[in-house]
Structure 1
C-alpha cells in the first residue's frame, strides 16, 4: 500500500513536471509546433488527473475496508477493544504529561 502511494505520488509529480516543461516550450513556439506542445501538455494533465482519481478511489476503498474490519473486530471482541482504547488513551496521556 505504501509502495503504491509512493509510486503514484512520483508518477503524478513526473507527469506534472513534464506538462510544465511542455507548456513553457509552447509559450515560445509558434504555429503547429505550439499546437502540438499544448495538446501533449493537455494529455499529460489529463493523465495526471486520472492518476489522482485512481489514487483517491484506492484510498477511499482501503479506508472503508479498514473501518469495516475494525467494526467487526469491536463487535466480536468488545472488551478487548475497550482495553486497547483505554491503554492507548493512558499512553497518550502519559506522553502528553512528559512534554509539559
Structure 2
C-alpha cells in the first residue's frame, strides 16, 4: 500500500511548486514595471534578480518533474496493490467509508 506520508509530501510539494510559480511571476512583473527606471544600482539589482529568477525557474522545473514522477509512482503502487489484493482494497475502502460516515453523522 502507498505510504501516506509520501502522499502528503507530494501534496506539499505540489503546493510549493504552485506558490513558487506565483512568486516568479510576480518578480517578473516587478522587473517589467521597473524596466524604465534608470540608475546603476537599479541596473545591478535588476540583473541580480534576473539571474536569481532564471535559477529559480530551473529549480522549479526540476521540482515539478519530481512531483509528477512521485505522483505517477504513487498511482502505480496503488494500482498494483489493488490488482494484487482486490478484496483487501475493498475492505480498506469500506472501512474508510464507514469512518467518514460516522464522522459526518456526528455533526
TM-score by structure 2 length?
0.63
Q: How many residues align?
A: 86
Give the whole-Å Cα distance in 1 for the aligned partners of 2:75 and 2:38.
Answer: 54
Q: Give 1:41's aligned residue.
A: 49
**2:89 paired with 1:84:** no
Shift of 1:36: 2.1
Q: Give 1:71's aligned residue.
A: 79
Q: Which has the larger radius of gyration?
A: 1
Shift of 1:51: 2.0
Shift of 1:74: 0.6
Task: Say which is worse superposed, 87-96 or 36-45, in terms of deviation.
Answer: 36-45
TM-score by structure 1 length?
0.67
- 3-state SS, counterpart of residue 97 of structure 1: helix
Flag as ranges the 4+ runs of structure 1 deviating above 6 A. Answer: none
Comparing both structures, which one devotes a greater share of its residues to helix? Answer: 1
Shift of 1:39: 1.1
Give the whole-Å Cα distance in 1 for the aligned partners of 2:55 and 2:105.
Answer: 48
Which has the higher relative contact order, 1 or 2, with Cα contacts under 8 A spaced 6 or more apart?
2
